[in-house]
Amino acid sequence: KAGVTQTPRYLIKTRGQQVTLSCSPISGHRSVSWYQQTPGQGLQFLFEYFSETQRNKGNFPGRFSGRQFSNSRSEMNVSTLELGDSALYLCASSPNAGNQPQHFGDGTRLSIL
């Protein structure tokens, strides 16, 4: 069974640009969550989607947004990029919403110049 797939693996952008990251969950999984990982703050929750609806959101500015499609694939968008947005962005999927184990992909490494 294929795991969580994130594309692209690496991305370089400049300040002020916007970026879209993609996540394909494990087959049959309907819930997708996004996390940001940095050396200083560790792993922080961004948001969770289930059935194309955002269920909950972490403490990030509105520049961070996402969506989920009918096939459960999800995208995350960051607008007006700042240097501090350089991070590893991780996607995790679980079978359903609620208290179920989350399985992570290998992430997209975003570098802002």
Question: Residue 37: left if φ>0, alpha if ψ -120 to 50, beta else—which one?
Answer: beta
Burial of 85 (0-12, 13-18, 19+ CB in 10 A): buried
| Per CB under 8 A, 35 contacts other proteins | yes
Part in contact with other proteins (CB under 8 A); list of ranges 21-29, 62-70, 76-84, 91-99: 91-99
Binding residues for other proteins, rule CB under 8 A, total 25
**Per-residue contact track with other proteins, 38 to 67, x per CB under 8 A?**
----xxxxxxx------xx-x---------
Q: What kind and span of H or E run contains 56? A: strand 53-57
**Closer CB to other proteins, residue 47 or residue 64?**
47
H-only helix segments in 7-110: none
What is the Cα–Cα distance from 105 to 113, expressed in whole angstroms? 25
**Closer CB to other proteins, residue 48 or residue 85?**
48
| Per CB under 8 A, 97 contacts other proteins | yes
**Closer CB to other proteins, residue 19 or residue 49?**
49
**Closer CB to other proteins, residue 44 or residue 86?**
44
What is the Cα–Cα distance from 56 to 29, expressed in whole angstroms? 17
